[in-house]
Amino acid sequence: MPLMHWIVTSTIKRATRVLCCVDDVVLAKIPARGPLILVTNHVNFLDAPVMYTHLQPRPVTAFAKTESWDSPWMGRLFDLWDVIPLERGAADTTAMRKGLQVLQQGKILAISPEGTRSGNGCLLPGHPGVIPVALHSGAPLLPVAFYGHEVFKDQLRRLQRTDFHISVGQQFFLDIPQGKTTRAIRQAITDEIMYRLATLLPPAYRGAYANLAAASANYLRFTPATLKREYPITAK
């Protein structure tokens, strides 16, 4: 690991642990090697630094909106972490190609189907951008949900640490019949993926996916190994 990367990453990790009580024990459930798409929710600005620094030394990167590079310090940090700039609202083939290269190299690629911060931690409707990455790469997907740190600013004003909870779900692959995938099918697949995130969250955070009775898994394939690895949340 280059010295500057180690210094910056270690410093940010220490800072997040001073400001937050990070429930990082469950991250040991994330495979130690091989290509992997982490499907996450997006609460606020804390998600990326906590996830990235606490997964080290596992090589991991993610997509981020191109506007993030408008901030000089944020742009330099994202360049240091090899974050992939993504044009939102467009078919960004350059970002797609870089994401596939990351997976071909056996790294982790984190994707948030919500596409933006929820702010309050409640799930927003997902967008299907993760689907072509998963189909073209053949990489497994692993849902990882965050919650609790939506109150970070209020806790900081009170000089109190914030609980940062992490839940890890079951690994799966996309299983889609050959042929053209319509917009309706892509959205159905996206919703199935989002429901996997919803099951990892306490009810108050499930938002657009609160009705778990509507969840299905028609396009998801779980291997026997992953079926043995179910990690239900313990939060009330």
Cα–Cα dist 83/14, whole Å: 21
Sequence length of the chain is 236
Looking at residue 188, which CATH number applies to its domain? 3.40.1130.10
Which amino acid is present at 226?
T
Task: Report which secondary-structure segment, H or E, holds 141.
Answer: strand 141-147
Find the angle CA(85)-CA(90)-CA(91) to the nearest 5 degrees. Answer: 85
Task: Report which secondary-structure segment, H or E, holds 144.
Answer: strand 141-147
Cα–Cα dist 54/52, whole Å: 6
Q: 32: pLDDT confidence band, cut at 50, 70 and 90?
A: confident
Q: Where are the alpha helices (DSSP H) in the chain?
A: 3-19, 47-55, 72-80, 93-104, 130-137, 152-157, 183-198, 224-227
Q: 235: pLDDT confidence band, cut at 50, 70 and 90?
A: very low
Joined together, the tokens standing for residue 48 give 């990326």
Cα–Cα dist 45/30, whole Å: 22
Cα–Cα dist 2/58, whole Å: 14
Q: What is the pLDDT of residue 225?
A: 56
Handedness of CA 59, 225, 219, 166 (dihedral sign): negative
Residue range 16-37: average pLDDT? 93
Cα–Cα dist 231/164, whole Å: 17
- Tell me if 118 sits within 8 A of 95, measured CB to CB: no
In a domain, 234, yes or no: no
Q: What is the pLDDT of residue 1?
A: 64
Nearest to 222 by CA among 140, 109, 99, 154: 140
Q: What is the pLDDT of residues 203-227, one digit of tens each?
A: 999 999 999 999 999 999 997 655 4
Q: What is the pLDDT of residue 53?
A: 96
Q: What is the pLDDT of residue 236?
A: 27
Please check the confidence at residue 200 and state whether its pLDDT lies above 90: yes
Please check the confidence at residue 230 and state whether its pLDDT lies above 90: no
In a domain, 25, yes or no: yes
Give pTM, 2 decimals. Answer: 0.90
Task: Note down the domain range covering 206.
Answer: 3-227
In a domain, 235, yes or no: no
In a domain, 219, yes or no: yes
In a domain, 232, yes or no: no
Give the whole-number percent of the chain exceeding pLDDT 90: 77
- Tell me if 22 sits within 8 A of 134, measured CB to CB: no
Q: What is the pLDDT of residue 224?
A: 65
Please check the confidence at residue 180 and state whether its pLDDT lies above 90: no
In a domain, 50, yes or no: yes
Joined together, the tokens standing for residue 224 give 């026997």
Q: What is the pLDDT of residues 72-118, one digit of tens each?
A: 888 899 999 999 998 876 677 899 999 999 999 999 999 999 989 99
In a domain, 236, yes or no: no
Number of Cβ atoms within 10 Å of the Cβ of 82: 14
- Tell me if 42 sits within 8 A of 118, measured CB to CB: yes
Please check the confidence at residue 48 and state whether its pLDDT lies above 50: yes
Please check the confidence at residue 137 and state whether its pLDDT lies above 50: yes
In a domain, 114, yes or no: yes
Q: How many domains, the chain? A: 1
